Amino acid sequence: MRVLGVDPGSRFMGYGVVEERRGRLTHVGHGVIKVDPDAPLPHRLMVLHAELAGALSKYRPEAVSVEGVFTFRNARSALVLGHARGVALLAAAQKGLPVFEYPPARVKRSVGAGGADGKDAVARMVCALLKLEAIERADASDALAVALCHLNQGRAAGLVVGTSRSARSKSRKGAAALLADRLSPSYRRPEAR
């Protein structure tokens, strides 16, 4: 199972790709899409879309996970971030990929950082989990954390490749069912009664 995580932003958008291989989480790649902060918003969104679409084509993930919205004091900042998130959702949808969203607090907990911990703590935990020496920007480490969060959710639900059929059949609700179907083509749901 290969997941591309996205840390959305209108000036810097981080992405990180993690794969579950034989029960191990493996770093595949990561990057930060940087745009000219002085460019008009439509141009920045176009660049974000093109670059993220390129990363999706290069890494060919099976799912995309995006950090969810959190509370902003500044309505304009929230609106601009919403545009960037929309670009990420659109790029994934155009590739026919399922998209999963996770709140920032859940992303932090999934890598072992506390809710009050900052980006440095998340970066340290991501590096430890993926056996990386360092990650150059917090945008990339946050994106890797979002990908790890999704894989950890799937592991907890028994939806990762290699789990038993009975474990998969216990968790067939909404997006989890879609993920299970994508992971195992031979898996069939029982007929409705």
Please tell me the pTM assigned to this model: 0.76
Listed residue (18, 17, 10) closest to 39, CA to CA: 10
Spatial contact of 97 and 63, defined as CB atoms under 8 Å apart? yes
Listed residue (145, 95, 103, 149) closest to 120, CA to CA: 145
- For the record, the structure tokens of 112 come out as 């072992």
Task: Indicate the pLDDT class of residue 71, thresholds 50, 70 and 90.
Answer: low
> Who wins on pLDDT, 184 or 48?
48
- Does pLDDT of 55 surpass 60? yes
- Distance from C-alpha of 111 to C-alpha of 27, rounded to nearest angstrom: 14
User: Which CATH architecture is the domain 2-141 placed in?
Assistant: 2-Layer Sandwich (3.30)
Residues annotated catalytic, as ranges:
7, 67, 139
- Does pLDDT of 170 surpass 80? no
Chain mean pLDDT for the chain: 80
In this structure, the number of other CB atoms found within 10 A of the CB of residue 186 comes to 5
Where does CATH 3.30.420.10 sit in the chain?
A: 2-141
User: Which strand (E) or helix (H) includes residue 171?
Assistant: none
Q: Given this model, what pLDDT does residue 70 score? A: 65
- Distance from C-alpha of 163 to C-alpha of 157, rounded to nearest angstrom: 10
The order of strands in the sheet holding 24-34 is 24-34, 12-21, 2-7, 63-67, 99-102
Reported as a single tens digit per residue, the pLDDT across 105-158 is 888 888 887 766 677 888 999 999 999 998 989 999 999 999 999 998 866 554
Q: Given this model, what pLDDT does residue 175 score? A: 37
